[in-house]
């Protein structure tokens, strides 16, 4: 990425952090909508299947040991 210099007549101002409350319920609904509309419709890969099977095997081993 190439950086460019932009000249301005305005003085520099300090950036103030935004202090806003986050509506976690609304955020969750929005994320779920995006997920269901894109990621959820895609098939899982063989690598993901293998990871899930290894996780299940590890869980079984831990239950037997505990």
Q: What is the pLDDT of residues 9-47, one digit of tens each?
A: 666 566 666 667 788 899 999 999 988 888 878 888 999
- Rounded distance between C-alpha atoms, residue 57 and residue 1, angstroms: 44
- 22 is a domain residue: no
- 54 is a domain residue: yes
Q: Count how many domains the chain has.
A: 1
Helices (H) and strands (E) in the chain, counts: 2, 0
Q: Residue 48 sits in which domain range?
A: 35-65
- Does the pLDDT at position 64 exceed 90? yes
Is the pTM higher than 0.85? The answer reads no
Q: Tell me what pLDDT residue 6 has.
A: 55
């Amino acid at each position: 990425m190439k950086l460019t210099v932009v000249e301005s007549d305005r003085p520099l101002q300090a950036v103030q952090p935004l202090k806003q409350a986050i509506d976690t319920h609304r955020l969750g609904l929005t994320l779920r909508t995006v997920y269901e509309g894109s990621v959820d419709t895609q098939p899982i890969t063989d690598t993901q299947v293998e990871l899930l099977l290894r996780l299940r095997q590890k869980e079984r081993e831990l239950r037997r040991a505990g």
